[in-house]
Amino acid sequence: MKMMNICCTVALLGLSPMVLANDGLPLPQSGQKLLQKFDLNQDGVITREEAVQVRNEKFNQADADKNGAVTLSEWQAAQAQRRAAYMAQRFGAMDGDNNGFISQDEFGQGKNPQGRGGNRAARFAQIDSNGDQQISPDELAAQHAARQAKKGDWGQKMFQTLDADQNGEVTLAEMQAIVPLFERFDANQDGKIDGDELQKVGGQCNKRAYK
């Protein structure tokens, strides 16, 4: 089974606190994201129970008609809702004066929506599609959608990976494929993935070693 089930189902709503492995080194970004999603009690480790609970909740949210199976359209609708929530949080974090727009100054101070490096002014102009010297929620969402489009339909790829029997539906049992994956990452088999183990998982995710 591919690692993408745990590495790429993370829908971020913000940045998690910095967590250190036992050797004192900060976790890779992927490890931080996994903690944000699965460490429900925020104690710096992911337990089997937490992993199962997150999967259950994600399944229930996606299963709109509550028939015990998630179709591709339900999956995509749930992902769209998560993206909208993420974009709202992201926009709010940059809109320092809460006026509904991101100014050039706010763009320079906030989390860079285009990633690291490059020229901020040029990126601001690229997102500011109407050239009014401010970024609206729709403009930021459009920029994010354009970036996602270049990556292809990752949501559909995830759905196809989870749909083990390829019948066009994902059951709760298929969603719970995280359990054997959890055991794989729980190197010392103590029922939890700690900082050192997350360090290894994060490194593998960063390298896209999904097999």
The answer to pTM > 0.95 is: no
Is 188 within the bounds of a domain? Answer: yes
Is 131 within the bounds of a domain? Answer: yes
Q: Is the dihedral of CA 61, 158, 21, 189 positive or negative?
A: positive
Is 88 within the bounds of a domain? Answer: yes
pLDDT digits (tens, 9 = 90+) for 101-149: 999 889 877 554 444 445 788 889 999 999 999 999 999 989 888 887 7
Is 97 within the bounds of a domain? Answer: yes
In angstroms, the Cα distances linking 121 to 22, 74, 102, 117, 140 are 40, 39, 13, 12, 15
| Token duo for residue 162 | 């989870």
Please state, in angstroms and rounded to a whole number, the distance separating the CA atoms of residues 211 and 208.
9
Is 211 within the bounds of a domain? Answer: no
Is 15 within the bounds of a domain? Answer: yes
Q: Domain with 60 in it: what CATH number?
A: 1.10.238.10
Provide the number of structural domains found in the chain. 1
Query: What is residue 208's predicted lDDT score, i.e. its pLDDT?
Result: 40
Its domain, for residue 158, covers 4-206
Is 81 within the bounds of a domain? Answer: yes
pLDDT digits (tens, 9 = 90+) for 185-197: 888 889 898 888 8
Is 12 within the bounds of a domain? Answer: yes
